[in-house]
Amino acid sequence: MKTLPTLFFATGGIFALCGMIWGIQMSASHDHTLAPAHAHLNLIGLVLMSIFGTFYALSPQAGQSRLAKLHYGLATLSVVVMVPGIVMAITGRGEALAASGSILAITSIALFIFVVLRHPVGGAARSADDEAAVLPQPAE
């Protein structure tokens, strides 16, 4: 299996490629009706996935947790559900899928915050004893 950062970056790249092709199609047709869905595909699909991948690359111990793997699945699912949902909302076919995708995206961000707080960038959370060992001790 690929490392979690690789999965985030590769998935983000696939979403970006789809977004770019879609953007070219919109430009060629002069129909930008679905631009909000295109923007969400690029923003959540590439930008957030890349931010997530960067964090997990800088904090490998965080990327080995079950929560991190859940986070990848949730983040990917949020894009896959939200973008078509926005298309459906724009074209008048209902907003339920867009709302579901939004909830998945918010849950994904909340889970990311939790993982970051549990596994600070670059290393494991330090205890008070670890901090005391790092800080200079006053001379007696």
**Listed residue (39, 63, 46, 47) closest to 121, CA to CA:** 63
Tell me which residue range forms the domain holding 82: 4-123
Is position 65 within any domain? yes
DSSP state, 28? Answer: H
- Listed in sequence order, the residues at least 6 apart from 64 whose beta carbon sits closer than 8 Å to its beta carbon are 4
pLDDT tens per residue across span 56-91 = 999 999 999 999 999 999 999 999 999 999 999 999
Kindly write down the DSSP assignment for every residue of 74-103, as one continuous string.
HHHHHHHHHHHHHHHHHTTS-SHHHHHHHH
Its pTM stands at: 0.83
Instruction: Please say whether the beta carbons of 18 and 63 come within 8 A.
Output: no
| CB atoms near residue 26 (< 10 Å) | 15
pLDDT band at residue 127 under the 50/70/90 scheme: very low
Tell me the residue type at 64: Q
Question: What pLDDT, on a 0 to 100 scale, did the predictor assign at position 138?
Answer: 59
134 lies in some domain? no
Per the listing, tokens 């008070």 go with 128
Mean per-residue pLDDT of the chain: 90
Domain-located, residue 136: no
Tokens of 59: 């904090």
Residue 131 belongs to some domain of the structure: no
Is 135 part of any domain? no
What's the pLDDT at 125?
A: 47
- Are 87 and 37 spatial neighbours (Cβ–Cβ below 8 Å)? yes
Q: How many domains does the chain have?
A: 1
100 inside domain: yes
In a domain, 49, yes or no: yes
